[in-house]
A and B are shown apart, each in its own frame.
Chain A
Amino acid sequence: MPESHIIAEGLTKRYGDFAAVDGIDFDIKAGESFGFLGPNGAGKSTTMRMIAATSLRTEGRLEVLGLDANENGPEIRSMLGIVPQADNLDEELRVRENLYVYGRYFGLPRAVVNERADALLEFAQLVEKKKARVDALSGGMKRRLTIARALMNEPKVMLLDEPTTGLDPQARHVLWDRLFRLKERGTTLVLTTHYMDEAEQLCDRLVVVDHGRIVAEGSPASLIRSYSTREVLEVRFGTDKNEQAAKTIEGIGDRVEVLPDRVLVYADNGEQALSAVTDRGLQPVTSLVRRSSLEDVFLRLTGRSLID
């Protein structure tokens, strides 16, 4: 059994009457890749900030690398690599200087900082850009620089808040590749995301959060197994007709879910479900059979879509 890196019990953050995080428990092991999946405003970022000790919890227990988060901010962060949701690079400094200055914030000696800065420019594929101004970088490059920066102190745990939100597909894949390498090296990754594909790619285990609470926990595959079927049939009948058609479909597959623009039929065999639908005399405008994803898990658990 590997040691625990982060332990939370009844972790709560209140702003006035509003509980952004409402009593959650989790235990993240060394070397694990752990994800918080949930829509905007679910409390993921607040949780991340509490782990980083840049936001103080209101109640509960939170131990990061064996230290109480409310009391030991600087010491905890000396072992963390933090990648915030919005890049907060130092725009007044050049690319390489960002790494250098950041390393100095950890109190590392100049020689070490210089050596790591060069190695990380390589890792982040930014060697040619090392003298560029930060505001001249593309979104993907900024993100890679932010990740490189977070690695300056050779952290035991990386905290990644929405690491690929807002990037184009190609930039996302480059980033996932870099994160995967970190995982292979044994770095503990903690990430938040509202993308199912990202969670499926990167997480060994994840919790689904909604309204500041954990609603389910497990590996991506086990979550899909417990809360969804193997396949999903998506059929569209036109905006006003979906509701009506769903009534006729009722009974096909395990479960039927009506969304404003389409009807989802959860079944282990999508093609069979589709022929059952047409057998009942319905002619969908479009139809699609796909594998179940975490989106379906989320819909099942909360009755809402992840991205609204």
Chain B
Amino acid sequence: MSEQTQSRRIMQGIYSRNTRSVVSRGMRVIARNNWMIVLTGFFEPVFYLLSMGVGLGALIGSVQFMGVDVAYAAYIAPALMAVSAMNGAVYDSTMNVFFKMHYAKLYQGMLSTSLGPFDIALGEIILALFRGLLYATGFMLVTTLMGLNLAWTALLAIPAALIVAFGFAAFGMAITSYMKTFQHLDFVFFLMMPMFLLSATFFPIEVYPEQIQWVIMALPLWHGVDMIRMLTTGIIDFSIIWHVLYFAVMIVVGMFFATHRLKSLFLR
């Protein structure tokens, strides 16, 4: 009982149940100014798919996934989808939030109203997910046309990409609360690079010694890649539950952590 009142008291200082207005402002801006940026963001994974899938594919041929041979382009397409979900979510929750906070002073304006930091953080995450949805859907369309979706379960890759994005966005928001300068952002992107290179994106992790494999499997991107790859190839086994669980935990922990950091992020 007392715990419940306490959590209500915390929320009362940071939440006014008006996330809707933050989302609608974002949608307005996307519709007016930013639709080009949103549209162009979709091309990046497509370029990678065309270059790596086709060019490297010609050199490599096919790759084994859970004991089954999969054409190289079909092997990397789901990985690129997971990477794009991660990149978009991290960009939106770190760089974008940092810029709006310190340069565009957008949140300063929002926080002059009855909005609380939680309304804003949740609104930004919802907008990031909306963008993620657009990208994932666009990418699915391309991969379907290229014949790279090997089973009907590929449809589930779209919600899976959103789960991946949600996990990274929640965590990104929490990390942004510790950032003081743009250089700190460089480190965030620097930490993402090995994840991008090594998480079974372009080649199976079996090429590495077992200890390194364990490290990679502890990182979130690998779970995202493996989960989406199972769905688009239709080669699914029970372990997909662990991937979903991993992200469920990441979302819960990330949101909890972000909520508790909101005061230091917004109310300095």
Chain A interface (Cβ < 8 Å from any Cβ of B): 52-56, 70-75, 77-78, 80, 82, 84, 86, 88-93, 97, 101-102, 104-107, 149-150, 153
Cα separation A55 to B267 with both chains bound (whole Å): 5
**B21 interface contact, C-beta 8 A:** yes
- Pick the interface stretch among B22-30, B38-46, B243-251: B22-30
CB-based contact B267/A105 at 8 Å: no
CB-based contact A74/B115 at 8 Å: yes
CB-based contact B13/A90 at 8 Å: no
Nearest 5 pairs between A and B by C-beta? Answer: A78-B114, A88-B105, A82-B112, A74-B16, A105-B113
Cα separation A74 to B12 with both chains bound (whole Å): 7
| Given known A-B contacts A56-B267, A104-B21, A71 and B109 have beta carbons under 8 A apart | no
Most A CB contacts (10 A, CB to CB) among B109, B115, B263 go to: B109
Q: Which residues does chain A contribute within 8 Å of B119, judged by CB atoms?
A: 74
CB-based contact B104/A91 at 8 Å: yes
Q: Which residues does chain B contribute within 8 Å of A93, judged by CB atoms?
A: 25, 28-29, 32
CB-based contact B111/A92 at 8 Å: no
CB-based contact B106/A88 at 8 Å: yes
B17, B24, B109: which contacts A90 (Cβ < 8 A)?
B109
A–B pairs, 24, beta carbons within 8 Å: A52-B112, A54-B266, A71-B9, A72-B12, A73-B267, A74-B12, A74-B15, A74-B114, A75-B114, A77-B112, A78-B114, A80-B112, A82-B112, A88-B108, A88-B109, A90-B106, A93-B25, A101-B24, A105-B22, A106-B113, A106-B114, A107-B21, A107-B114, A150-B112
CB-based contact A89/B25 at 8 Å: no
Cα separation A15 to B229 with both chains bound (whole Å): 49
Q: Which residues does chain B contribute within 8 Å of A73, judged by CB atoms?
A: 13-14, 111, 116, 267
A86, A89, A153: which contacts B114 (Cβ < 8 A)?
A153
Cα separation A97 to B22 with both chains bound (whole Å): 14
CB-based contact B28/A101 at 8 Å: yes
Q: Which residues does chain B contribute within 8 Å of A84, judged by CB atoms?
A: 108, 112
Cα separation A102 to B115 with both chains bound (whole Å): 10
Q: Which residues does chain B contribute within 8 Å of A107, judged by CB atoms?
A: 16-18, 21, 114
CB-based contact B115/A105 at 8 Å: yes
| Given known A-B contacts A56-B263, A89-B109, A106-B113, A101 and B13 have beta carbons under 8 A apart | no
**Whole-angstrom distance between the Cβ of B104 and the nearest chain A Cβ:** 7
Cα separation A80 to B113 with both chains bound (whole Å): 8
**Whole-angstrom distance between the Cβ of A191 and the nearest chain B Cβ:** 15
Q: Which residues does chain A contribute within 8 Å of B18, judged by CB atoms?
A: 105-107
Q: Which residues does chain A contribute within 8 Å of B112, judged by CB atoms?
A: 52, 54, 77, 80, 82, 84, 150
Residue of B nearest to A70 (CB): B13
Residue of A nearest to B105 (CB): A88
Residue of B nearest to A92 (CB): B29
Cα separation A56 to B29 with both chains bound (whole Å): 31
Cα separation A115 to B33 with both chains bound (whole Å): 26
Most B CB contacts (10 A, CB to CB) among A89, A104, A105 go to: A105
Q: Which residues does chain B contribute within 8 Å of A86, judged by CB atoms?
A: 105
Residue of B nearest to A105 (CB): B113
CB-based contact B109/A74 at 8 Å: no
Q: Which residues does chain B contribute within 8 Å of A74, judged by CB atoms?
A: 12-16, 114-116, 119
Most B CB contacts (10 A, CB to CB) among A72, A80, A101, A150 go to: A101
**Whole-angstrom distance between the Cβ of B233 and the nearest chain A Cβ:** 41
Cα separation A72 to B10 with both chains bound (whole Å): 9
Cα separation A97 to B32 with both chains bound (whole Å): 12
Cα separation A77 to B13 with both chains bound (whole Å): 11
Cα separation A301 to B28 with both chains bound (whole Å): 52
CB-based contact B13/A105 at 8 Å: no
Residue of B nearest to A68 (CB): B13
Q: Which residues of B from 203 to 261 have beta carbons under 8 Å from A?
A: none
Q: Which residues does chain B contribute within 8 Å of A54, judged by CB atoms?
A: 108, 111-112, 266-267
CB-based contact A104/B13 at 8 Å: no
CB-based contact B15/A101 at 8 Å: no
B12, B25, B29: which contacts A71 (Cβ < 8 A)?
B12
**Whole-angstrom distance between the Cβ of B247 and the nearest chain A Cβ:** 31
Q: Which residues does chain A contribute within 8 Å of B180, judged by CB atoms?
A: none
Cα separation A91 to B112 with both chains bound (whole Å): 16
Cα separation A78 to B15 with both chains bound (whole Å): 12
Residue of A nearest to B33 (CB): A92
Known: A54-B266, A75-B114. 17 other contacts (CB 8 A): A55-B267, A74-B115, A74-B116, A74-B119, A77-B112, A77-B114, A84-B112, A88-B104, A88-B108, A89-B109, A93-B25, A97-B28, A104-B21, A104-B24, A106-B114, A107-B17, A107-B114
Cα separation A193 to B29 with both chains bound (whole Å): 34
Cα separation A209 to B17 with both chains bound (whole Å): 37
**Whole-angstrom distance between the Cβ of A58 and the nearest chain B Cβ:** 12
Chain B 121-159: CB-based contact to A (< 8 A → 1; otherwise 0): 000000000000000000000000000000000000000
Q: Which residues does chain A contribute within 8 Å of B109, judged by CB atoms?
A: 88-90, 102, 149
